[in-house]
Amino acid sequence: MSLPSSNSQKLTATNFDLPSLHLLRPEIAVTLHDAEMHLSEFNDDSSQAPLLLDSVDTLAQLAKVLRLIQLEEGYELANSLSAGLQKLYDERDRPNNDMMMDVSEGIMTLARYIEFVLLKETIEPSLLLPIINQLHSDLHQPVLQLSDLTANKNSSIVIANPEQSDQQWRTPTQKLKDRGTLLMGCSDVTALQLAMYAHGHLPYLA
């Protein structure tokens, strides 16, 4: 598959529910932060493996929410992270350092991607494709193509040059990381309720 030219039109945030993503931002951050902490604790002490199951559930919930707001690439990565943590738990007596590194990278990548989308109001599924496919390889799942992440998008929109967008992505997210704003604390996960509220499916309860 040939790459689009560097002057291709970007896939903009208007093709998915950006207001909902803003609402979900704190819950996504705490979910990913907790997953990273659980993974780190498991890495230090395998007896902490049950902690992984908490993040298996919350990441699976997050995946469904990201699909609900039509951020398909986020769904695929969150779903793969959930499956990866489940595999680490199931095989806890056989340490898999490569898998742990890939899951850790996936968590950080998803956190940075969410910040990128909110900051630039642009989505670039190609940025997540490499880590999604690395996790799929670890899980013995089929490799995805970029078209698998964009099939439900507006067919008149094409993806920007991944090399060009990668540099755009790293610069603002590094600034956010330096400021300590990539991962922020929040309450327990209520992401599904927030997303449904944003879609008008639930009344807002203060």
Give the pair of three-digit tokens for residue 61. 């919930």
Average pLDDT, integer, range 117-138: 94
Give, in order, the Cα–Cα distances in Å from 90 to each of 53, 69, 83, 87.
10, 31, 10, 5
Q: What is the pLDDT of residue 150?
A: 83
Give the pair of three-digit tokens for residue 111. 């956190």
Average pLDDT, integer, range 192-200: 45
C-alpha to C-alpha distance for 183 and 34, rounded to whole angstroms: 10
Full-model pTM: 0.70
Q: What is the pLDDT of residue 17?
A: 81
Average pLDDT, integer, range 3-8: 36
Mean pLDDT of the chain, nearest integer = 76
Give how far the C-alpha of residue 187 lies from the chain's centroid of Cα atoms, to the nearest Å. Answer: 19
Q: Which is more confidently placed, 166 or 63?
A: 63
Give how far the C-alpha of residue 45 lies from the chain's centroid of Cα atoms, to the nearest Å. Answer: 26
Tens-digit pLDDT profile for residues 26-35: 999 999 999 9
Q: What is the pLDDT of residue 105?
A: 97
Average pLDDT, integer, range 96-115: 96
Band of residue 118 on the pLDDT scale cut at 50, 70, 90: very high
Q: Which is more confidently placed, 37 or 16?
A: 37
Q: Phi first, then psi: give them for residue 11, nearest 5 degrees.
A: -80, 115
Q: What is the pLDDT of residue 181?
A: 34
Tens-digit pLDDT profile for residues 70-97: 999 999 999 999 999 999 999 999 989 9
C-alpha to C-alpha distance for 66 and 206, rounded to whole angstroms: 23
Average pLDDT, integer, range 44-66: 95
Residues with Cβ within 8 Å of residue 154, at least 6 apart in sequence: 11, 15
Q: Which is more confidently placed, 122 or 128?
A: 128
Q: What is the pLDDT of residue 15?
A: 57
User: DSSP assignment, residue 95?
Assistant: -
